[in-house]
Amino acid sequence: MAPGRAWVCYCARMNFLAHLYLARDDRDLMLGALLGDFVRGRRQLWSWPSGIRNGIRLHRKIDRFTDHSRQVKTLQAQFLKPFRRYSGIIIDLAFDHELARSWGQFSEVPLADFDLEVRQVLAEHKDDLPTELTQFMDYADRRGLFEAYRHEEEMLFSLAGVGTRLKRENPLHRVAEIWPQLKPEVAEAFASFFPELQSRVIALRKRRSTTTGS
């Protein structure tokens, strides 16, 4: 993981909405997109059916591409102490905020309807889900996520919540202090980065479909 990434309970990385969007129209990939942060090691990976494994692998590739992208590295470099250490978490959630805020530019399906589809995917596999994922989705249901991510106050609330689960003292409850200066930088980085990520994922999915014949 890049500097600024920290594992915390079920909130290792917060860009669930981006992962789900990039896996859309394929329910196995969507479930894999949600499982990507909770399935560790080959044994756990191979306990899932092939389609879901592909979704978990896609999730990991998206994370690697994100961590090494020039836009994210440039954005991380602008964080000052004590926020820089947690810049990865902040950027993840801020990018989900940008995606939710501009959802209509990327999808003809309303975000509220997409939210319902995510819940249906989870309901189909409710007996197989890791406890951590179930806990996160319970939280998402209480907060009206992922649709609520369009509101910056919800994003800031979620960041503060992540901070309470970290063992180390951290400034995530203070992101509101830097958000006015950070907001235009995040929007610019997202506008440049996300189309590149989309193109990469489309190519990966097309290659997988061509290889498997599915």
| Within-domain flag for 131 | yes
pLDDT for the residue numbered 127? 87
CA atoms within a 13 Å half-sphere pointing along the CA-CB vector of 160: 12
Q: Per this entry, what is the length of the chain?
A: 214
| Within-domain flag for 205 | yes
Q: Of 35, 191, 124, 134, which is closest to residue 44 (Cα–Cα)?
A: 35
Whether residue 210 has pLDDT greater than 60: no
pLDDT for the residue numbered 3? 37
Tokens 């939280």 label which residue? Answer: 139
Q: How many domains does the chain have?
A: 1
**Mean pLDDT value across residues 68-93:** 94
| Within-domain flag for 103 | yes
In this predicted model, what pLDDT tens digit does every residue of 130-175 receive, in sequence order?
A: 888 888 888 889 988 899 999 999 999 999 988 988 888 999 999 9
| Within-domain flag for 35 | no
Whether residue 103 has pLDDT greater than 80: yes
pLDDT for the residue numbered 2? 38
Average confidence score pLDDT of the chain: 88
| Within-domain flag for 152 | yes
Q: How far apart are CA 177 and CA 211, in angstroms?
A: 49
Contacts with 94 (C-beta within 8 Å, 6 or more apart), sequence order: 155, 182, 186, 190
In this predicted model, what pLDDT tens digit does every residue of 19-76 receive, in sequence order?
A: 999 999 999 999 999 998 888 878 888 889 999 999 999 999 999 999 999 999 999 9
User: Which H or E element spans position 44?
Assistant: helix 41-45
pLDDT for the residue numbered 211? 58
Which DSSP state fits 57?
H
Q: How far apart are CA 57 and CA 76, in angstroms?
A: 25
| Within-domain flag for 118 | yes
Band of residue 10 on the pLDDT scale cut at 50, 70, 90? very low
pLDDT for the residue numbered 6? 36
pLDDT for the residue numbered 15? 84
Contacts with 54 (C-beta within 8 Å, 6 or more apart), sequence order: 28, 29, 32, 208
| Within-domain flag for 132 | yes
Between the CA atoms of 77, 82, 85 and 88, what dihedral angle is there, to the nearest 10 degrees? -70
| Within-domain flag for 108 | yes
Band of residue 128 on the pLDDT scale cut at 50, 70, 90? confident
Q: How far apart are CA 91 and CA 75, in angstroms?
A: 8
Residue 178 lies in domain: 69-212
Whether residue 113 has pLDDT greater than 60: yes
